[in-house]
Amino acid sequence: MKKLLVILEKEFRQVFRNPTILRMVLIMPVIQLIVFPFAANYEVKNVLLSIVDHDHSDYSQKFINKISGSGYFKLTDYSPSYNKAMESIESGTADLIIEIPEGFERSLVKENKASMLLAVNAVNGTKANLGGVYATNIIRDFNRDIQMEWIRFPKFNPQPTIEITSSNWYNQHMNYKLFMVPGILVTLLTLIGSLMAALNIVHEKEIGTIEQINVSPISKLQFILGKLIPFWIMGLVTLTLGLIVSRLVFSIIPIGSIGLIYLFGMVFLFTLLGVGLLVSTYSETQTQATFVSFFVMMLFMLLGGLYTPIESMPEWAMWITKINPVAYFIDVMRMIVLKGSTFTDIKVQFFSVLVLGVFFNAWAVINYRKRS
């Protein structure tokens, strides 16, 4: 125990004597957490709209007014032809073309039906889909208005109608920040934790001080613990700062218990640092450690469920999320913060991360050799 304290003292001194690292760990995450949730918004607004109106009728004018007044679309130009409008799509000044054919009003009134062409720039599938859905809904609405104008509906519906009502639980106002802030906090914690741990032992190897540790009378376990604990505490400090920021800046107050967030955070950091230390024991140079941990981290983060829902990933990726501590933590953060989940709700995630942590750390201890 006493030996461990001595190593800890050494590690802490090293950390505090490097102001750059300290700044990176404390200030950078806070700034990023304040700024980036404003960027992380999937809501599709201001879809750029180009209209090709061949009809120039009363109805087509009404429709154009309706769609440009809806708030989702920004009318950028009236094009004389479809090909001209395609040019705006190519140059990026339009996302959506609506073409109203000649004789639109006439055929709607005389033949009882008319068509309209929507062409969406679908390079970004999600965005195109949403834009298309908005536009179709507005057309449907417009259509209903016209029908109301022409037909007097009987008291009872002439045909079976299903009325759809929908409600959004846990996040009624569909506030993206509630959803993104906990996730971004986990991302930042992951970045910092895994990097610091991965570089640390290798740094000693590269500058040669590892030799001194190898000849000193400390056990492998003590050595690894001495590396683990300082970063673990720094990670918890980052977590605390993050929670304070989300409270003060975004007024996010977890519905569940904060103690539970910390409990899970502790286990998560233990696992994450274990992965970093494991990478560190295998690498010879810092460059090597950087790349391996970069690769692992990208995999963890992109498959963590923050940016794309896990359910829509292919099966092999879903398997990776089973051994991905980041995915578990993001999931648990959301459950505690938004749904107020208790320990019983998250125990599967908790024990999975704990088992992973014990596994990676044990591997790191075994793999670290005290001889060169």
| Subset of 54-113 contacting another protein (CB under 8 A) | 89-92, 108-109, 112-113
By CB under 8 A, the residues from 304 to 363 that bind another protein are 307-309, 311, 334-335, 338-339
3-11, 131-139, 211-219, 259-267 -> range binding another protein (CB under 8 A): 131-139
255: tokens are 């519905």
Name the minimum Å distance from CB 356 to another protein.
23
Strand order in the sheet with 73-78: 73-78, 47-53, 96-100
CB of residue 168 to another protein, shortest distance in Å:
4
Site string for another protein, 258-297 (x = CB under 8 A): ----------------------------xx--x---x---
Q: Which residues of 133-146 are buried (b: 16+ CB within 10 A; e: fewer)?
A: ebbeebbeebeeeb
* Three state DSSP letters for 234-269: HHHHHHHHHHHHHHHCCCCCCCCCHHHHHHHHHHHH
Rounded Cα distance, 97 and 118, in Å: 6
According to DSSP, residue 18 is labeled: -
- The least CB distance from residue 53 to another protein, in Å, is 14
Which positions from 193 through 222 interact with another protein, judged by CB under 8 A? 195, 199, 203, 206-207
Between 20 and 212, name the residue whose CB sits nearer to another protein.
20
Q: Does 299 bind another protein (CB under 8 A)?
A: no
| Binding residue for another protein, selected from 5, 41, 319, 348, defined by CB under 8 A | 41
Return the number of the residue (122 or 355) whose C-beta is nearest another protein: 122
Interaction with another protein in 11-30: which residues (CB under 8 A)? 18, 20-21, 24, 28-29
Q: Which of residues 38 and 78 has its CB atom nearest to another protein in the complex?
A: 38
The dihedrals phi and psi of 164, each to the nearest 5 degrees, come to -105, 125
Say if residues 307 and 293 touch (Cβ distance below 8 Å).
no
Q: What is the torsional sign of CA 350, 354, 360, 361? A: positive
Distance, in Å, from the CA atom of 24 to the CA atom of 196, rounded to the nearest integer, reads: 10
Task: Please state the closest distance from residue 126 (CB atom) to another protein, in A.
Answer: 7
189-197, 214-222, 265-273, 275-283 -> range binding another protein (CB under 8 A): 189-197
Q: Tell which positions 136-165 bind another protein, by CB under 8 A.
A: 136, 139, 142-143, 146-147, 150-151, 156-165
Rounded CA-CA distance 78/287 in Å is 55
Residues in the chain: 372
Site for another protein in 163-182 (CB under 8 A): 163-172, 174-176, 178-179
Element (H, E) at 208: none
Residue 129 or 240: which CB sits closer to another protein? 129
Identity of the residue, 256 or 274, whose beta carbon is nearer to another protein in the bound complex: 256
Nearer to another protein, 213 or 218 (CB): 213
274 and 361 Cβ atoms separated by less than 8 Å? yes
Nearest CB to another protein, comparing residues 60 and 222: 60
Site size for another protein (CB under 8 A): 100
| Other C-beta atoms lying within 10 Å of the C-beta of residue 339 | 15
For residue 288, how many other CB atoms are within 10 A of its CB?
A: 16
User: Least separation, in Å, of the C-beta of 200 and another protein?
Assistant: 8
d(CA 274, CA 358): 8
The least distance separating another protein from the CB of residue 100, rounded to whole angstroms, comes to 10
User: Alpha-carbon Rg of the chain, whole angstroms?
Assistant: 29
The residue (of 159 and 372) whose beta carbon lies closer to another protein is: 159
Beta-bridge partner residues of 73: 47
